[in-house]
A and B are shown apart, each in its own frame.
Chain A
Amino acid sequence: MLRERSEGQFALLRSGQRLTAETSGVDIVVEQHIAGGGQGDVYAVSMGHQRYALKWYRSEFVRQDGRLRERLRRLSRRDPPSPRFLWPIDLVTSADHPNTFGYIMPFRDSRFRDFDGVIIGAVTPSWRVVVTAALETVQEYRALHSGGWCYMDINFGNVALDPSTGEVRICDNDNADVNDAPIDVALGTPQFMAPEIMRGQARPTIATDLWSLSVLLFYALFRCHPLLGAREYACPIMDAAAERRLYGTEPVFIFDPQDASNRPVDGYHREAIFYWPIYPSFMREMFVRAFTSGIADPRHGRVLETEWRTALVRLRDAIALCPYCGTENFFDADADEAGTCWAPACRRPMPRPVCLQVGDDLVVADERVSLYPHHVNPRRRFDFATAVGDCVRHPERPELIGLRNGTPSPLKIKLADGREREVAPNQIVELQRGMQIDFGSAKAEVV
């Protein structure tokens, strides 16, 4: 839930004020104040007939960060790693404000909401959307890192998502710099700072970005911080010294299998206790690795973007709706026994869902699930652009699930009893256990 923001009355620029873009020399007109923060304010501006966002710094911040202007100039000359970055386009100056400046970037569509709202429950997207947004975030930072850039301050305030699709936007790119660049100002949000930065032993790098990314993913899935457990609870004062200890000098993962000294406290760390068991074991193991060997060995022990990507796709494919209450559950194929629905009001045992096994991938076939080239074409991994098949429920008999052929060519089907048939494009075939579907590049089996 939002707390009041009253920075608007202290805005630095007035509506209608004219400014100039540095490189292009184009006139910019300030429309309205959108948001404020410690570094400066964000305004809606128009340039030509297009709407953009302008971040205008406070002069104190420009003074503190001596490299800011040079860094932004460098950033604005590069192409963004992907269109999902609200990347600086040009610097903006004004003769009225000689001690400061700003930069323009693409305007964020109103359908996007701050990711931190998800953690607190102010925005309540489905789990499929949350996992999709997490996956997209990982992909975007991978694109940034592979270009040799480091974001430096990954946190839940810098990512925005569309709560209906999971599409993301990466905001506040003004911190980004080439990897291991020297810095003038202390960067980062304490909860997201890698322990070695918190201890003052390292500068932000891609390796520390990986730490912040895993904290962000933990927040997205578990709605709490991975290092705040009994040690936080025992701490009478949460001051800078306590933060340094909890996040820097003595970081212990709350579910560290070797060290039980920082377990979540009942009644206080409710989110951790509630959400940890709902995930399949492979996902929990990823986080254990991220926050145990990721602490012990910052250079080689952290989970890479590519590993998160594989795990998150697998997690999204494991979403199964509870047949009784409709809650999204994560089906754990590795578990010995079928789980129960995690919704507190339901808790009924879940039957094993109908799944499609394609190679090593297991996809729970349920409403709103689609198969993509990622699943059926080993040469097009992580291609989720156009679906090759959609799962649909029978309108009158919801216990039956079918697959609509989304490809332009017929699909060959081999039924459990050996009979073969073809499914024309856009036609639906009922999924029965033991059936095989030939996508050409791969065969799927209904299990």
Chain B
Amino acid sequence: MPAVKAAANWQIATQSVRGASHEQSGAPNQDAVGAQLLTEARGVVLAVADGHGDDRHARSDRGSRFAVAAGIEVVAAWMEQAATLAEADLRRSAQGLPARIVKAWRAKVEADVKADPPADRHDLEGEGVELLYGSTLVVAGIGGRFDVFLQVGDGDILSVAPDGAVKRRARGRTDLPSHLTESMCQADAVDRFRMEFVMRGRRGGDALVMLSSDGYANSFADDAAFLKVGLDLKGLLEGRGLDHVADKLAQWLTETSHEGSGDDISLALAWDASPRENRRRKRRLLARAGLSLVLLAILIPLVTWAYFPSAWNNLKPAKWPQVLASLVEKIQGRQGAGDAVQAAPEDLPPLP
């Protein structure tokens, strides 16, 4: 079941489907996804993680779950605390997020190793036990004043502005070989985080933020086709609302995996419902304007006829030319009488 929650402005939805190739091989879904609404509508935190899945990273399905939990926990706590900081302090403080996330993830791994020690058969190749839990992580903290995007390894963060401009946030490296990814399990994971911090202006920021594991982007022919998803989703959210999109997500992602990468696909999205409120206001305004026009269209003839009561007697269509002619005559007569500087009668165009 898709998870849907709503705060004052932000609505969120998450979904994760097992890849087509994993269905065949019986492997579990190694992705994890999560989202949390902050208290007092301070914003939302979204996270998606993709466990590496091969034998060297035998517990990567747990690793990705821990990554999502650590990412949400740390970023949510930071956003609650940082809500009142000045911009410069916010930026400085955000720099410490990767280290805190990695620390929280390692603590979860350590607890798991204690509770369920791995068998000796795992060859750690001289590296820490974290290797077994290898996973990527993308996290987004979206608030009223600022957004923070963090990423280690593959995965994508798309943001869509109210005007439809789609951007990639804190994107991962484009120059690495396709079968390798950076990871939470690396000793220098903290240094491998890519981060983007954005202050929201007075007009607000993005309307839609979408996080996905790389199985999604890899299912598209190219980057441009993938980026268009952001725009399509925004259109659907505006038109049909979040509940409709959330209901359909599982079906869409399963189809995408089958026809595309065959990989697990996870997606988390946050939709700012307030721009839609604005649009409703606009629609209400338009409706009012339309109604006023109709009323005017009714009132003007009424007033006209009230002003020229004789017209009431000539309402039959056959008499309308005469009615019009008499009206014109009356108007001309009044103008001629009332206005001394009016042009002489002979200058007027001939009447029909």
Contacts and interface: CB of A to CB of B under 8 A. Distances in A.
B222 A2 contact: no
A208 B225 CA distance: 32
Given A228-B175, A236-B167, A236-B227, A1 B24 contact: no
B227 A237 contact: yes
A205 interface: no
Given A1-B185, A3-B52, A3-B53, A239 B194 contact: no
Interface in B168-191: 168, 170, 173-183, 185-188, 191
A270 B187 CA distance: 16
A267 B195 contact: yes
B223 interface: yes
Nearest to B181: A3
Nearest to B178: A3
Interface in B37-94: 52-54, 56-57
Contacts of A240: 222
Nearest to A4: B53
Contacts of A268: 170, 194
Interface string A216-238: 00000000110010001000111
Given A2-B52, A5-B54, A238 B223 contact: yes
Interface residues of B, number: 42
Contacts of A228: 174-175
Contacts of A117: 180
Interface stretch (A25-33, A119-127, A284-292): A119-127
| Main secondary structure on A side of the interface with B | loop
Interface centre among A1, A268, A274 (most CB of B within 10 A): A1
A232 B194 contact: no
B196 interface: yes
A268 to B, nearest CB: 6
A120 B180 contact: yes
A237 B223 contact: yes
Nearest to A2: B54
A191 interface: yes
A116 B174 contact: no
Given A1-B185, A1-B186, A236-B166, A116 B177 contact: yes
A237 to B, nearest CB: 5
Interface in A83-139: 116-117, 119-122, 124
Interface of A: 1-6, 9, 116-117, 119-122, 124, 156-157, 191, 224-225, 228, 232, 236-240, 242, 267-268, 270, 274
Interface of B: 21, 24-25, 30, 52-54, 56-57, 134, 153-154, 166-168, 170, 173-183, 185-188, 191-192, 194-196, 222-224, 227, 262-263
For the complex of A and B, the 10 pairs showing the least CB-CB separation, nearest first, are A4-B53, A1-B183, A225-B175, A116-B177, A237-B223, A239-B223, A120-B180, A4-B54, A239-B222, A2-B54
27 contacts: A1-B181, A1-B182, A2-B54, A2-B57, A2-B180, A3-B180, A4-B30, A4-B52, A9-B25, A116-B176, A116-B177, A119-B176, A120-B176, A224-B173, A236-B166, A236-B227, A237-B222, A237-B223, A237-B224, A238-B174, A240-B222, A242-B223, A267-B194, A267-B196, A268-B194, A270-B191, A270-B192
